[in-house]
Amino acid sequence: MSGDNKDDKVGYGKPPVTGRFKKGQSGNPKGRPRKKKDPSVVSLADQPTEQAWRKEVYKPVTAKTASGTVTMPFNEALIQKQMAMALGGNRLVLKDMMQRIKHQEESEAERRAQASQDWFDIKRAQQQRLDDARRRGESDVRLYPHPDDIVRDRKTGDWDLVGPFEEEQIWYFEMWRSIQHLLLIWNEQYRRLGRSGSLEKEIQMEALVWMIENQLPPSYRLEEHSWIEAIVRYDRMSEKTLSIAEKTQTSAIVALRPHAQTDVCLPEGALLHLREIATGIAETLAQVD
């Protein structure tokens, strides 16, 4: 066997001669395929042009509209011009506008679906954290966002947040809780007056309390017996103690109101529809400022 050619041996690291690379010849004659360029990625060389483009697109221009000559960003003027041409019967522009509308609706549907799924995943994770805390015997656990505040819209079926996303947003809901207690105190004061029209005022106060309660996030809502206990507690207070309670709740509301001027961004779903209630109550609170 000593006469066998060593190059004919086949084994680990030694493929058959017919399958070996030939000296001086590339194993990949066509070369490495070029990487496809992502159109959404702007190279460093293109950035100055991209910046100039953005600057011009949003630059104010003068445009003629049905209501007269107005100044608006170039992109808005261009869209209005295209819409006018589409309505005027330009088929090419009309087709382009319809495609854009379809694309916009599809993109919005995808965004909503993704946002809904994200909120559902957060709800499930937060619920797991809450259950784990309760199994450890921990009480009065507050999570932000709270799983109970991530609810499903009955009309759209989307999951969304209707409560505070972080602790810095609690002030908004604490303010309305103080307003509820202030209304109950006023309700008790009207009841003790016993004058004509007091009963109507009492009904209005109680109705406002329940209207606010129905608008608060689920995790902030109290059981009915809790409100009954509060009503009984104010009923048993002396005039002096009731007056102190009124000042305490009023001071709390006045202290919380300046937060409304800060840059705390509430989730869209958490903006409560209580403007009419706030307007009526603000007239009374203005007297304490």
pLDDT tens, position by position, 190-225: 888 776 566 777 777 788 888 888 888 888 888 888
Max avg pLDDT among 14-18, 159-163, 284-288: 159-163
| Whole-angstrom distance, CA of residue 215 vs CA of residue 225 | 18
CA distance 280 to 110: 41
Distances (CA, A) of 263 to 16, 83, 277: 73, 37, 23
The pTM of this model reads: 0.60
The encoded tokens of residue 77 equal: 């003027």
pLDDT of residue 119: 93
- Helix axis angle for 91-135 and 74-87, nearest 10°, is 120
Instruction: Tell me the backbone φ, ψ of residue 46, rounded to 5 degrees.
Output: -90, -10
For residue range 122-165, list pLDDT tens digits in order: 999 999 999 999 899 887 788 889 999 999 988 889 999 988 88
pLDDT of 280 higher than 60? no
Neighbours of 80 (CB within 10 A): 16
Is-cis flag, bond preceding 218, omega within 30?
no
Lowest mean pLDDT among 21-25, 134-138, 159-163, 167-171: 21-25
Residue 130 neighbours by CB under 8 Å, 6+ apart = 141, 143, 146, 147
In order, the DSSP letters of 162-219 are -S-SSGGGHHHHHHHHHHHHHHHHHHHHHHHH--TTHHHHHHHHHHHHHHHHHHS-GG
Distance between CA atoms of residues 36 and 211, nearest Å:
59
Q: Supply 241's token pair.
A: 């103690």
220-249 average pLDDT score: 90
Percent of the chain with pLDDT over 70: 71
Structure tokens at 21: 């690379």
